[in-house]
Amino acid sequence: FEEIFDIVALGFRPKPEPATYRAVLARLEAAPARTILLDDLERNLVPAREIGMRTVLVGARGPAPGADFAIGSLRELPAILPRLLA
């Protein structure tokens, strides 16, 4: 990992506050459309998706309206990467 963003590094602003995601994007100098957020809680993905990030719900047992993709485990990530990166 090149960087880890914990709650201390983000000024104690927790997910799913949109300001948290914007702070990470600014620090990385990354456009939302060129980023992917993986999380195990759909509520954390909704604001990220709203600001333009690609989102993956990990641990899902079915489709998730708040995420672009839903997978049961990280082992399934390679199968969706072509669509995720498209």
As a whole number of angstroms, the distance between CA 29 and CA 36 comes to 14
* Dihedral over alpha carbons 58, 74, 24, 68 (to 10 degrees): -50
* Dihedral over alpha carbons 26, 85, 51, 56 (to 10 degrees): -110
Strands (E), the chain: 36-39, 54-58, 69-71
Q: What is the pLDDT of residues 24-81, one digit of tens each?
A: 999 999 999 999 999 999 999 999 999 999 999 999 888 899 999 999 999 999 999 9
Q: Residue 62's pLDDT is what?
A: 87
